[in-house]
Amino acid sequence: MSRVLVTETIAEGGLERLRQAGHTVDVSTGLSPEELLTAIKGANALIIRSATTVTPEVLEAATDLVVVGRAGIGLDNVDVEAATKRGVMVVNAPQSNILSTAEHTMAMLLSVARHIPQAHQALTAGRWERSKWEGVELADKVLGIVGLGRIGKLVAQRASAFGMRIVAHDPFVAPERARQLNIDLLPLEELAAVADFVTLHVVKTPDTIGMIGADYLAKAKAGQRIVNVSRGGVIDEAALAEAIRDGRIGGAALDVFASEPTTESPLFELPEVVVTPHLGASTREAQDKAGDTIAEQVGLALDGEFVPFAVNVSAAEANETIRPFLPLAERLGSLYGALAEGTPPSLTIEYQGQLADYDTRILTLAVLKGLFGSVSDEPVSYVNAPQMAADRGLEVRETTTTSLARGHVNLITLAGGDHSIAATLVGIDGEPRIVLVDDHRIDVPPARNMLVVRNDDRQGVIGRVGTILGDAGINIDDMHVGKSPDGASALMVVSTTEPVPAEVRDLLLAADGIGSVGLLSR
């Protein structure tokens, strides 16, 4: 049978299941990166938690590796792309800690409302400070939930039981779906202005880093209390500390921080702040669920069976014609989400050309994986992406036609709401190209950091964009200009070496001849 290398502490029940199936379980914790390169040789499966980093070097040394199992949700420590290229399946346990995280959020919510840790510390230090730690009730208060994924919805259910009114911000949830949950969807600025408490349930992306910063805090309702049990870095800790000192923000409860582990933060010295050392998933039940789930997934992968929580697709699941388009479809979904700044009621995915002769369902899964992958509070797989679309009220329509489109042998087009984007592969090497954005013909490779600038079709505008970016120290990697069908306006797609900050975007918007600026950093 197979050798399973386990480099971190996993619930024993799951490991015993693998042993009973006949596999050799090698538990070697505390390995250094160099020791891991030696230990991984000959292993067919690797089970980790958050401390082990699976790099391309580790995968290269693991010549017999079939599957990497992460006992938990996050995959920041696994190079999934490198694993996919080597044909190594990556699996996780996406549902193992959502309940524990939601409950910890409620614990933090109550703690910051009633000053429980501060009162406990004072009393055990010999001080009876009953009047000092007067709190507030949750009943009849407005709770703003930023990120209405599985954890956000669990928090909403529990907060409703306390008599709170729920509002939420999540551009990837359809308004009708939110109404079914008795939740009002609001833009972030409006949520900031009306919420008495705010809880965050978002992933860490270029769009969410520092989203709770000086600008948000200046618009927040006076006395608002903020809870973060999602990802560190989405709150500007220095700006939050300043807002609490000024009395604009009533308090905060944080379980995660920009840098971890940490014992220093400007927030730690403030009596209005409650902190815990990333305990959201630290319950016995969550650890047991994660261990049991990952052992089951790894066992299925080793047996060659269907693996429900695989986050990448093995080569066997797509034929040779479809396979090269999988990364393009996923990237296209991500770019569409940034372009549309949310999810429309319906999304049409059209496959044109030779692709129409094949089963394109796996490409549709890749599109949805890309669309939701950068906004969900849990990793998105080819298996759970359709359910996420259903949960968010997104109707997905798939169409095919064998006719050539716009001169391309194959074309994938996403259209919904007021936006559309299309891409293809060109040349012998199958290089990806975005060839259409909102009916404007372009030709540019997809990049990590991109701008979509709509502008008047007249002299000087393109140069103005280049000057503003250059003055900000932002290098342009690529640029293409496409005219609208009526010729009245133009659209620039600009690739940059680094993300464009919000203040530079504002400068572009203020420039003469610029109509709109979209950030496609994913």
- What pLDDT is recorded for position 377? 63
- What pLDDT is recorded for position 428? 82
Kindly indicate the confidence band of residue 198, based on its pLDDT and cuts at 50, 70 and 90: very high
Q: Where are the beta strands (DSSP E) in 330-461?
A: 346-353, 395-401, 410-416, 419-426, 431-437, 440-444, 450-456
**Mean per-residue pLDDT, 468-476:** 90
- pLDDT of 310 > 80? The answer is yes
Determine the Cα–Cα distance for residues 29 and 183; give it in Å rounded to an integer.
Answer: 45
Confirm whether 60 is a catalytic residue. no
- What pLDDT is recorded for position 23? 95
- The catalytic position among 3, 114, 248, 278 is 278
Higher pLDDT, 387 or 17: 17
Q: What is the pLDDT of residues 410-433, one digit of tens each?
A: 999 999 988 899 999 988 888 999
- What pLDDT is recorded for position 299? 93
* Architecture of domain 324-519 in this structure: 2-Layer Sandwich (3.30)
Lowest mean pLDDT among 47-56, 156-165, 506-515: 506-515
- What pLDDT is recorded for position 108? 98
Helices (H) and strands (E) in the chain, counts: 17, 22
Determine the Cα–Cα distance for residues 378 and 309; give it in Å rounded to an integer.
Answer: 12
- What pLDDT is recorded for position 485? 64
- pLDDT of 387 > 50? The answer is yes
Kindly indicate the confidence band of residue 315, based on its pLDDT and cuts at 50, 70 and 90: very low
Confirm whether 201 is a catalytic residue. no
Structural class in CATH, domain 98-275: alpha beta
- What pLDDT is recorded for position 520? 74
**Mean per-residue pLDDT, 454-475:** 86
- 500-518 burial, b for 16+ CB within 10 Å, e for fewer? beeebbebbeebebbeebb
**Mean per-residue pLDDT, 365-383:** 77
What is the rounded average pLDDT for all residues in the chain? 89
Cβ proximity of 240 and 210 under 8 Å: no
Q: Where are the alpha helices (DSSP H) in 162-278?
A: 175-180, 188-194, 214-219, 237-245
**Nearest by Cα to 444 from 422, 464, 415:** 422
Confirm whether 231 is a catalytic residue. yes
- What pLDDT is recorded for position 502? 81
Cβ proximity of 380 and 388 under 8 Å: yes
**Mean per-residue pLDDT, 23-35:** 94
**Mean per-residue pLDDT, 84-110:** 91
- pLDDT of 445 > 70? The answer is yes
- The catalytic position among 260, 305, 341, 395 is 260
* Architecture of domain 3-94+285-312 in this structure: 3-Layer(aba) Sandwich (3.40)
- What pLDDT is recorded for position 318? 60
- What pLDDT is recorded for position 313? 62
Lowest mean pLDDT among 274-278, 286-290, 317-321, 357-361: 317-321
**Mean per-residue pLDDT, 311-325:** 69
- What pLDDT is recorded for position 39? 96
pTM, full prediction: 0.72
- pLDDT of 503 > 70? The answer is yes
Higher pLDDT, 6 or 149: 6
Q: What percent of the chain has pLDDT over 70?
A: 95
Cβ proximity of 146 and 156 under 8 Å: no
- The catalytic position among 49, 231, 408, 522 is 231
- What pLDDT is recorded for position 488? 61
Kindly indicate the confidence band of residue 132, based on its pLDDT and cuts at 50, 70 and 90: very high
Q: What is the pLDDT of residues 228-280, one digit of tens each?
A: 999 899 999 999 999 999 999 999 999 999 988 899 999 999 999 999 999 99
One fold for both 3-94+285-312 and 98-275?
A: yes
Q: What is the pLDDT of residues 115-127, one digit of tens each?
A: 999 999 999 999 9
- pLDDT of 522 > 60? The answer is no
- What pLDDT is recorded for position 51? 86
Q: Rounded to the nearest 5°, which phi and psi values hold at 177?
A: -65, -40
Kindly indicate the confidence band of residue 316, based on its pLDDT and cuts at 50, 70 and 90: very low
Higher pLDDT, 388 or 215: 215
Q: Rounded to the nearest 5°, which phi and psi values hold at 209?
A: -60, 125
Break the chain into its structural domains and give their ranges. 3-94+285-312, 98-275, 324-519
CA 495 vs CA 208, 460, 476: distances in Å: 20, 19, 6
